[in-house]
Amino acid sequence: MHTYFWAFVVGGLICVIGQILLDVVKLTPAHMVTTLVVAGAILSGLELYQPLIDFAGAGASVPITSFGNALVQGALSEAKMSGLVGIVTGIFEVTSAGISSAIIFAFLASLLFRPKG
């Protein structure tokens, strides 16, 4: 049960960081999300992101910071097997599910729905 508690708290706090970037630092939403992705990639490079996922579960894997983490982890695990070329071949390995499903569902939506208000 405490996984749910920490998922809520950690996920909520990452969103608060995003809100502070919007309101206090006055970034645009696009800049804010991009900043968080790069932050996730840096934390991943320092091996700090996986411990956060182990601790908070979806609280760390649902926010967009985990996209940066997944890109780095995909690149690193492939690079371990095939050297520097692996960085390029592995970068989308983990994130493929997210990007592909977002493209597929968004395209299906454009076939089925009309824009609302």
The answer to whether 47 and 18 have CB atoms below 8 angstroms apart is: no
Q: Does 49 bind another protein (CB under 8 A)?
A: no
Which residues, 22 to 41, sit near another protein by CB under 8 A? Answer: 22-24, 29-30, 32-34, 36-38, 41
The CB-side HSE value for 58 (13 A sphere, CA atoms) comes to 5
62 three-state secondary structure: coil
CB of 104 to another protein, least distance (A): 9
Among positions 2, 25, 61, 89, the unique one binding another protein when judged by CB under 8 A:
61
CB of 62 to another protein, least distance (A): 4
CB of 51 to another protein, least distance (A): 14
* Cα Rg of the chain, angstroms: 16
- Specify the residue for token string 């910071």: 65
